[in-house]
Structure 1
Amino acid sequence: MGISVLENLQIVRSVIFKPKEFWNEQKQHKSPKKNLFFSYFVPLLAVVAIAVFLGEFLKNNNYYADFALLKSLREILLFTLQYFISVFFTYHLMKTFGGVKNKSSARRLVAFSLTPFLLVSIITGLFQFLYVVDALGLYSFYIFWVGAKELLDFPERKFEKYALITILVNFFIFSFLSVSLSKLLTAYL
């Protein structure tokens, strides 16, 4: 059993509008209630995929379902790879900067900090002309920073370096994956 839709919506609202309180509450729970990837991340990703499919399908006059399907699969692949690669780097960079390694915290940081990117992808998937809204996804970095400060155990002088390097690595990964998968999609067509 996973998290219900209503619980996911409450989590999304808390992450976006009250990140400090949300992370403080997460600190009280040493481990997530259920598998975070399947109970929280995948349902949001499914909504993104549906939004991208519908946006692309309805945009074209010819209603090419295959291109819309490929574009939604690209989003699924992009965010799934981003999640797992980001968890890997977030976790392994902890020790490098003198922190205590905590895989559960790394998973929570990545899953919840990707929430703004997922929400923005829903909007831009449905309404592609609103691509400027993509800039709002950068709020993810603030959510990551606040969460890392709350959840992770670091010497004070090393935390800023860890958070900054991890955010830059994750941003580079997202950019690289996004461009690569877009090139792959256009090469297929």
Structure 2
Amino acid sequence: MSAELPQPSTTSLADRVKNILIQPKDEWGRIDAEPATVAGIYKSYVVPLAAIGPVAGLIGMTVFGVRVFGLSYRPSFGATLSTAVAGYIAALIGVYVLAMILNALAPNFGGQKSEVQAMKVAAYSCTASWVAGIFQLIPALAWLAILGLYSLYLLWLGAPRLMRVPQDKAATYTIVTIVAAIVLFFLVGLVASSVTSMFMPRMPLPGGTLSVG
């Protein structure tokens, strides 16, 4: 008998985003039960959603530029595009590394290793942070991206359940994972900032425009 390949989820992208944000406990149950593949999750969910922040930032920087202490600097499109691409690549790599952390830690807390389940947790728990990236459309509202911290709560709900960690060890497993995730995203942010600084130094490069007021 030939093994059946996992069937893709019938839940639309918009419905999955809405449900994981509004009713995460119920949605984690559906996510846990549905068949999936790592590649499928990446293609149908991670790739489009991880692009929200970089694309929004690209548009925001191109239209509004950067404003600090009364000075407005609008970098060249090439510099802004390079920054967006670097941020996007960092997000794609970050979610994979988070899945590896989830999978590696699970057995230490009585859980079960599963690359697919770990990728589900990593991808769907990042939903809030990716969606919050839309605020980069208007640089003055970029600070609202802090709402993406809701992703930590999503991780708290989903990680123990999908990785089959016993209830008595669930809290410890999730806390350790969250700490690792915070360190991971801090490092990803550092890399993205370093790349950004290469294209946006203190003095504007040719191709950018500087204005006062």
User: Does TM-score exceed 0.5, indicating one fold?
Assistant: yes
Structure 2 CA distance for partners of 1:48 and 1:62, relative to 1, 3 Å: closer
Q: Is the strand fraction higher in 1 or 2? A: 2
Greater helix share, structure number: 1
Secondary structure of the equivalent of 1:153?
A: coil
Paired position in structure 2 for 1:69? 81
Q: 1:68 to 1:188 in 2, by over 3 A?
A: closer
Partner of 1:111: 123
1:29 partnered with 2:40: no
Alignment check: 8 A CA contact 1:3 1:40 kept: no
Separation of aligned partners in 2, 1:21 and 1:155:
19
Distance in 2 (CA, whole Å) between partners of 1:24 and 1:62 is 46
The question of whether the paired residues in 1 share the 8 Å contact of 2:132 and 2:145 is answered with: yes
Q: 1:99 aligns with which of 100, 111, 122?
A: 111
Equivalent in the alignment of 2:137? 126
Question: Is this contact kept in 1: 2:128–2:148, CA < 8 A?
Answer: yes
Question: Which residues in structure 2 correspond to 1:39-50 (within 5 Å)?
Answer: 39-50=44-55
Secondary structure, aligned partner of 2:36 = coil
* Alignment check: 8 A CA contact 2:109 2:173 kept: yes
Q: Which contiguous aligned blocks of 4+ residues in structure 1 show a shift greater than 6 angstroms?
A: none
Q: Is the 8 A contact 2:102 2:159 kept in 1?
A: no
Contact 1:120/1:137 (<8 A) preserved: yes
Q: Tell me the residue number matched to 2:155.
A: 144
Say if 2:183 is the partner of 1:178: no
1:121 to partner: Cα distance:
1.1
Amino acid at match of 1:184: V
Query: Cα–Cα, structure 1 residues 23 and 104, in superposed 2: closer, same or farther, change >3 Å?
Result: same
Given that 2:41 and 2:123 are in contact with CA atoms closer than 8 Å, whether structure 1 keeps it comes out as: yes
1:32 CA displacement: 5.3
Unpaired runs of 5+ residues, structure 1, are none
| Aligned residues: CA RMSD | 2.3
What amino acid is the match of 1:36?
Answer: I
Under a length normalisation based on structure 1, what TM-score does the superposition of the two structures give? Answer: 0.89
Flag the structure with larger Rg: 2
Q: What 5-or-longer segments of structure 2 have no aligned partner?
A: 1-7, 66-72, 201-213
Calculate percent identity across the aligned residue pairs.
23
Task: Give, in whole Å, the separation in 1 of the partners of 2:76 and 2:82.
Answer: 10
Cα distance, 1:96 vs structure 2? 1.8
TM-score by length of 2: 0.79
Paired position in structure 1 for 2:169: 158
Contact preservation (8 Å) 1:113, 1:144: yes
Q: Aligned partners of 2:162 and 2:117: how far apart in 1?
A: 6
Report how far residue 63 of structure 1 moved: 6.4
Say if 1:133 and 1:62 are closer, same or farther in 2 by CA, change over 3 A: closer
SS at match of 1:15: helix
